Each structure stands twice: as C-alpha cells, then as structure tokens.
Structure 1
Amino acid sequence: MEHYERADDYYYRSIISQEKDLKNHLFNIMMNSGYLREDLKYCRQLLRLYMNDEYLANLLLSQSIQDNIVVLHAFHAGLMEAVNQIIEPMAGEIRLQWWSDVLNGKRNEEAAGHPLARSLLYLIKQQPVAVDQETIKTMLNTKIKAHVVEVHRQSMKSLSMLENWFVETHSSLFQLSAMMNGSKVNSELLNASRHSGIAQGLMRILINLARYRSMKRIFVPLDILNEYDLNTEDFLQSIDQRHEKLIIALIQLTTDHYKKALIEIRNLDRSSRKIFCILSLIPLYLRIFQESPRETLTGIQKFPLQFCRQWVLLLSFISW
C-alpha cells in the first residue's frame, strides 16, 4: 500500500513539474515572439466590461500601437476588478501585491499562466531603447500602490489629494500610452497627461456617483463636502439643494481640467494627440449631468448610446 502511495505521489509531482515547465516554455516563447491572440482577446474582454469607452477609442488606433494600449488599459481594468470584487481590505492588498511582484519578476511561474500578466510583461520588454523599462515599471508600481486607497475605502481629505491620486492612477496611463507611441517626455506631455487624467477621473466619479453612494463609498473630497455644508452622513442621506450644488461644482471642476488638457494637447504631434481622443466624450457626459444633477446622485439618468459615443470618438480622431 505504501509503495502505491509513493508511486502516486511521484506521479503527481511529475505532472506538476511538467505543467510548470510547459508554462515557462510558453512564457519564454511569448517574450521573444509577441502577444498571444487569446491573451489579447482576454484583455479586450476586460476593457469591454470595465472600460467600454476606452475599448471603443482604442479601436480607432493603428494596429502598431493598439495592442500595446489595449494591454495597458486592461492592466488598469484588472486592478479595478481586483479592488471592486473584494470585501476584506487584506484580500485587496494581497491582489495588488501580486501585481507588484509580477512587475518585479518575483512571480514568473504564475505570470506564465495568466494572460494579462504575460501580456503586461511582454509590453514592458518589447519597448524600444528610447523608452526606459525601469521608468515604466516604476510608474506602474506607483499606480498599484495608489489603488490601496480604494481597497480601504478611504475618503480623500482634500481636492489636492484627489488630484494627485488621479495623476498616479489615470494620468500615468495617458503618459505611458504616449511614450509607447514615440512621444518625448516634455512639459507639454506631462501637463496634457496630468489634466487629462484628472478630468477623466472626475468624470468617472460623476458617472459612478450613484453606485458609490449605494455602497456607502465617498469619493468626493471632504473639503468640498464641507464647502457645501455636507458631512459624510449628509452626503449619503436624502438629496437636497446642497447635493445639486455639489454636482454642479464637480462638473465645473471637470470642465476646467478638460479645457486645460485641450490647450496642452494642441502642442503635441498629431499621432500623440490621437491618444487623448477619449477626452472628446467628456462634454457628452457633462451635458447630461448638467441637465439633471439630481439624477446623477440617483443613477436614473440615461447615458449616451454606444453609437453616439463611437461617432464622437471618430470625429475627434479625424480632427485632432
């Protein structure tokens, strides 16, 4: 009996070893060849689920840059999935730490079996010499650490804290996308990325505000709440004029960063400007919020149809 148990144990360990070898072999092949078709399909599915506007905007990009940006945006979607599906903060921290370990080469065996992790590592490795791989890893690691705030459902104390958080989580995506498209890192790109990320982040708050309130999550900075005589409990309770004034203020803040971003984007070369075409949807959403600020808090307003969003994106892609 003991002999058979040893044989079964040896057979089991042999299968596990062969599986690891196969994953590593697949991983090494990919690192020297390119994205796997199924991996890109997985990344696009993540985008369609969590970042549909970005998914539509990416379809307009040339194939040479599209795959890279799809993977980069899918990484953001993967972090959102990791953060939104957890109940206990510790579980979220573990998931975020796993991604940090993948970037730092500590989880190669596990990364070899994960379609998004494989694609992300290839994305970093295949960048031209002009784009420093360590810079990319540093920016992505900073982004991962910033998402810990979401894991703990922490409220931002001030608007400046929220804006800095958007720079690390959203602006970095614009900057990295432009860098991978061959843009030089200068003040115009940094400023365009900064204001674009903040405008995009604020718009996401407005889009998801009703859902956040239902989950008892407060993304509006506490100093802005205080400015309209609201505390966290008031904000989550029944809606009155203070709430509506708050929404109007957030719309104006988003508009300000959107306009500043457009000024900086005009100074970029044409191919880089197309990376920022997603911003053309901001006025479309803000118009809806302006017409019905109360519905922004209840979640009963209707968002633009996909056809309308695609049309706006196409027009901006042609004219920018």
Structure 2
Amino acid sequence: MHRQHDYENFLATLLMTKSLRSPALVLRAFNVEVARVQDLTSDAQTAAFRLQFWHDALKGIFNKDQTLKNVCCCYGLQRRYLENLITSRSNMNKAKYFKSLEEIEKYAEESVSSIYYLLLSVAGLKDVHADHAASHLGKAQGITNILRSVHVSSRQKVVFLPMDILMKYQLSQENVLRCTDSEQMRNAVFEIASRANSHLDK
C-alpha cells in the first residue's frame, strides 16, 4: 500500500537497517490508511465514520492483550502519536480548510512529525535534539505536502492553502481551484514555501 500511495517515504524507509525497516513500514502503512480516508470518501460523514473506526481500533489495541499492542509496547510507541495521526485527519475533515499558516504547522506537527517521533521510538532513540529535529522536519514536509497537493485538491474542489495568505495577496479560492498563474499566486506560494524552508534551517 505505501509503495503505491506513499512512494517517497517507502523508498526512504528502505534505507533503514533491516531491524527497523519492518516496524517502520507498518507505521507508514497505518499512516497511509488513515490519510487516504478523505480521498476514498465522497462526503464528510462517511469519512468521519471511517476515522472513528480507527480511533476505536486503536483504543482496543491498547486496552486488550493483542499482538499489535505487544509490538507497540516492545518499541515503546506512544499512543498519543498514533492518535494524532487520526485526530489531525478528523479535524481536517470537519474544518475543510486552514485559516492560517500556523494552523498548517499544527496540522503538520500532528500528521507528519508524529510519524518521525514514532520512528525515533522504533530506533530506541530518546533525545531532545532528535525530537526537535523531528518536529521541524515534519512541519517542513507537511507544509510542502500542502503545496504539492494544490493541483489534486483543485480537482476535488478543495482549497488547503491558508486563508490568511490568500487574503494577503488578494487571491480567491477560485484562483486556486483554477490553478491561476499570476504574480500574486507565485508570491503566496513563495511565502508558504519559505515557512517550510525556515523549519529546515532550525
């Protein structure tokens, strides 16, 4: 699944040592499954039901003596990071758009950085500097993902670029949906991309 729907991260995972690769692929597959809920559903209510299924499944895993629970305990995976992967998509399903660039950063922290925190746990690495790097890397990747998804999102009639940036450059949602090429659009994209780049510099 992750090879088809998350190819870049799949390739990156192959570079990990053999002992870490399998649990890392499991985490990536779980994230892909949750992330694709909105793409596979035509209405918000159905998406909400599917995300609730994952919430309930995760709760069951940690409350019962199941094999997956043992895996989570074996690698010290924190439940809150797994829950973040679901909750972030659930909140996005309700809101449908981002009010600000800061909201995108929060979404990226929950939906992308959480994966890196889990991968650090799999590697047995507990270090505040590694956590700091994972946070900023996740935010940079999350913001970049939003920019990369503009064309696909426009086909679904959804605009994920932050409203405050669109207003700043006097862009309408229709401009984004039509993928209008203008100086204002380029400036807006540059500002968003610059925020992503700033996280790589930290």
Structure-2-length-normalised TM-score: 0.89
Which one-letter code corresponds to 1:252 in the other structure? S
Name 1:251's counterpart in structure 2.
193
Point out the more displaced range, 141-150 or 49-58: 141-150
Name 2:126's counterpart in structure 1.
184
Cα offset, 1:140, TM superposition: 1.2
Residue 230, structure 1, aligned to residue 178, structure 2: no
Tell me, in whole angstroms, the C-alpha distance in 1 between the residues paired with 2:105 and 2:195: 11
Tell me, in whole angstroms, the C-alpha distance in 1 between the residues paired with 2:114 and 2:159: 23
Which one-letter code corresponds to 2:194 in the other structure? Q
Tell me, in whole angstroms, the C-alpha distance in 1 between the residues paired with 2:168 and 2:132: 28
1:227-274 Cα shifts (integer Å, max 9, x gaps): 1111323332443221122222222222211222xxxxxxxxxxxxxx
Name 2:74's counterpart in structure 1.
126
Tell me, in whole angstroms, the C-alpha distance in 2 between the residues paired with 1:253 and 1:107: 36
Give the one of 155, 161, 165 matched to 1:214.
155
Name 2:50's counterpart in structure 1.
95
What RMSD over aligned residues (CA atoms) do the two structures have, in Å?
A: 2.3
Q: Secondary structure in 2 aligned to 1:211?
A: helix
Name 1:287's counterpart in structure 2.
none
Tell me, in whole angstroms, the C-alpha distance in 2 between the residues paired with 1:219 and 1:123: 35
1:118-145 Cα shifts (integer Å, max 9, x gaps): 7x54531432xxx3x5xx1122113211
Q: 1:107 to 1:139 in 2, by over 3 A?
A: closer
Identical aligned residues as a percent: 26
For structure 2, which runs of at least 5 residues remain unmatched after alignment? none
After TM superposition, list the pairs within 5 Å mapping 1:1-320 onto structure 2: 46-105=1-60, 121-127=69-75, 131=76, 136-152=78-94, 154-186=96-128, 188-237=129-178, 238-260=180-202
Tell me, in whole angstroms, the C-alpha distance in 2 between the residues paired with 1:107 and 1:137: 8
For structure 1, which runs of at least 5 residues remain unmatched after alignment? 1-45, 113-117, 261-320
Tell me, in whole angstroms, the C-alpha distance in 1 between the residues paired with 2:45 and 2:142: 25
Tell me, in whole angstroms, the C-alpha distance in 2 between the residues paired with 1:231 and 1:58: 39
Please tell me whether the aligned partners of residues 195 and 258 of structure 1 are also in contact (alpha carbons under 8 angstroms). Answer: yes
The size of the alignment, in residue pairs, is 200
Which one-letter code corresponds to 1:69 in the other structure? A
Tell me, in whole angstroms, the C-alpha distance in 1 between the residues paired with 2:110 and 2:132: 13
Tell me, in whole angstroms, the C-alpha distance in 2 between the residues paired with 1:244 and 1:159: 16
Cα offset, 1:164, TM superposition: 0.9
Please tell me whether the aligned partners of residues 101 and 192 of structure 2 are also in contact (alpha carbons under 8 angstroms). Answer: no
Please tell me whether the aligned partners of residues 71 and 123 of structure 1 are also in contact (alpha carbons under 8 angstroms). Answer: no
Q: Secondary structure in 2 aligned to 1:105?
A: helix
Structure-1-length-normalised TM-score: 0.58
Q: Secondary structure in 2 aligned to 1:156?
A: coil
